[in-house]
Amino acid sequence: MPQHTTPELLFIETKWACLIPFEKTANLLKDLLPVPETLSGTTIQNNLYDLVMTKKKEIGEEQFMF
């Protein structure tokens, strides 16, 4: 699935979603920025999950011992 979220918006979503609940983050973004009304807590949660999975793939396997 292609990414339809700008890197800047994804940064703000991620930062705020770590601090406050997903739904409140969505409501705050709707109040402050011209984002679609379809933006929801679930959308933010999914974006955050996708970001985490991408970063995990970049890091690679965890080493048990060094």
Q: Is residue 3 scored above 90 in pLDDT?
A: no
pLDDT tens, residue by residue, 33-51: 999 999 999 999 999 999 9
Whole-model pTM: value is 0.76
Domain boundaries, the chain: 7-51
Q: Is residue 2 scored above 60 in pLDDT?
A: no
**C-alpha pair distances (Å), 25 with each of 4, 20, 52, 58, 63:** 18, 6, 18, 27, 35
50: tokens are 């996708």
Residue 24 has a CB neighbour count (10 Å cut-off) of: 14
Q: How far apart are CA 13 and CA 29, in angstroms?
A: 8
